[in-house]
Structure 1
Amino acid sequence: MSVPDAAPIRDAATVILLRRGRAEPAVLMGQRGAGAVFMPNKYVFPGGAVDPDDATVPLAEGFGATCEARLVIEAPPELSRALAASAARELWEETGLILGHPGRWDTEPPEDWRDFAGTGHRPTASGLTFVFRAITPAGRPRRFDARFFLADAGRLKGDPDDFSRASDELSHLHWVPLAEARRLDLPFITEVVLAEVAASLDRDGPPPDGVPFFDNSGPEPRFRRLV
């Protein structure tokens, strides 16, 4: 059965957790199920689509100025808030790990946020760095405008090895050394992002001027930078 090219493009947030202090840096990855519509069996970072309620969630802290400025390029200003919340929610749902600060909610949390709010935390974007953006090519069963955020595992609240509260969306959750991660069965875009992360760790001097963007929104794919 053919897949129409007009599949809607949904905004999404992906979290690349980087754990240092070992022999070499490691990233957190999990495997999608064999029956998943999108990228079955592939190893991926935690993440997913923005939900409508994410824009209403009270953040403990927002993005830094540079990330904020780059996130709103070719996007509505209010989207950055939703992306920040979505990143924390997806990480919580898929791994059981908390990216937030202790704090009370002054309003009733949306249904898909009740478990997170029950931990006594509010989501934060202060530890997230916007490092990559990619739009899924046409012809796929699902399409996303995904923003990838790098975060140090030291920002997590709680034990980074405790996945007991994770959903069953990702299996085989584990910390993978960067050199080994690229040997897994990965989506193409995940390979590219891993290469960018590895290069950034090896780089001496200032970070690159801009965020790489694989833009598949038009008839021809384009690779450019958001500055």
Structure 2
Amino acid sequence: MKKPGLLRPVDAASVVVIDRSEDRFRVLVGKRSSKHVFMPDLYVFPGGRRDRHDSRIAVSAPLHPAATARLLLRTPARTNQATLRGIGVAALRELHEEAGLTIGTDVSDQPGMLSFRPDLSGLRFFARAVTPPGQPRRFDTRFFALFADEAGIDPTAATDSHELLDLRWIDIFEQFGVEMPFITVKVLEELKGCLQKDPSLPFGVQAAFFLTRRGQIVRDTL
């Protein structure tokens, strides 16, 4: 088994669902189980690692071309469209598994890996973060924003799971009132800045990139 400092980050995705009703912006977070090795008992967005089969799952609509172009920046040469599609699928698969929200076309009557075909068209890529060396798990996480109304999400339909507990909607322009990892707070700050510049969150906006240099977490851009 590799030492934590030598672990190679694996692809992961997280989705920040935004409820912009009632003239405010709320995002969905949940508490990770105490049984998790990585970030236990902290509030995070739904998300997780990209599984190998995610790249083979059929989708009902692809990522927006501008989001795809931004995702490709500073990625290994081997990264292809299937990999990027798999990252988007991972975001919506995890949202389904962890919060009970389905974004896509129901195919539960057909054999397959998922009971729905994910609709990736509403995913806006706005941040990326690589877990620093030394952690028990390391991820190269892409963060996507998704407007609840555009995706047909009923905010009251979110349900707890064994992976995310105490799901709640928090106003990002007020005190959060929950304990979150450092990177989750930084990503929320980025989202606030994007919304202040343009509340519509245009596809392909410049994305923040958090990585470690000389032992310090720094912010770069994509």
CA RMSD of superposed structures (Å): 2.5
Question: CA contact under 8 A between 2:208 and 2:219: conserved in structure 1?
Answer: yes
Q: 1:142 Cα deviation (Å)?
A: 0.3
Match of 1:84 among 75, 78, 88: 88
The answer for the alignment partner of 2:155 in structure 1 is 160
Does residue 190 of structure 2 align to residue 193 of structure 1?
A: no
| Separation in 2, partners of 1:36, 1:169 | 8
Q: 1:177 Cα deviation (Å)?
A: 1.2
Question: CA contact under 8 A between 1:98 and 1:156: conserved in structure 2?
Answer: no
Q: Which amino acid aligns with 2:148?
A: A
Q: CA 1:72–1:216 in 2, change beyond 3 Å: closer, same or farther?
A: same
The answer for the alignment partner of 1:51 in structure 2 is 51
Does residue 215 of structure 2 align to residue 211 of structure 1?
A: no
| Separation in 2, partners of 1:136, 1:98 | 28
| Separation in 2, partners of 1:4, 1:45 | 24
Gaps of 5+ in 2: none
The answer for the alignment partner of 1:29 in structure 2 is 29
Percent identity between the aligned chains? 36
Does residue 117 of structure 2 align to residue 122 of structure 1?
A: yes
The answer for the alignment partner of 1:70 in structure 2 is 70
| Separation in 1, partners of 2:12, 2:47 | 7
Does residue 19 of structure 2 align to residue 19 of structure 1?
A: yes
Residue-by-residue CA offset, 1:154-208 (whole Å, 9 max, x unaligned): 13445321234x5311111011111346442111111111111112222259979
Question: CA contact under 8 A between 2:126 and 2:205: conserved in structure 1?
Answer: no
| Separation in 1, partners of 2:162, 2:107 | 28
Which SS does the other structure have where 2:4 is aligned?
coil
Q: 1:218 Cα deviation (Å)?
A: 8.0
Gaps of 5+ in 1: none
Question: CA contact under 8 A between 1:131 and 1:149: conserved in structure 2?
Answer: yes
| Separation in 1, partners of 2:131, 2:45 | 16
Does residue 146 of structure 2 align to residue 142 of structure 1?
A: no
Which SS does the other structure have where 2:96 is aligned?
helix
Q: TM-score, normalised by structure 1?
A: 0.84
Does residue 44 of structure 2 align to residue 40 of structure 1?
A: no
Q: CA 1:22–1:65 in 2, change beyond 3 Å: closer, same or farther?
A: same
Q: Which amino acid aligns with 1:213?
A: F
Q: CA 1:216–1:23 in 2, change beyond 3 Å: closer, same or farther?
A: same
Which SS does the other structure have where 1:70 is aligned?
helix
The answer for the alignment partner of 1:108 in structure 2 is 111
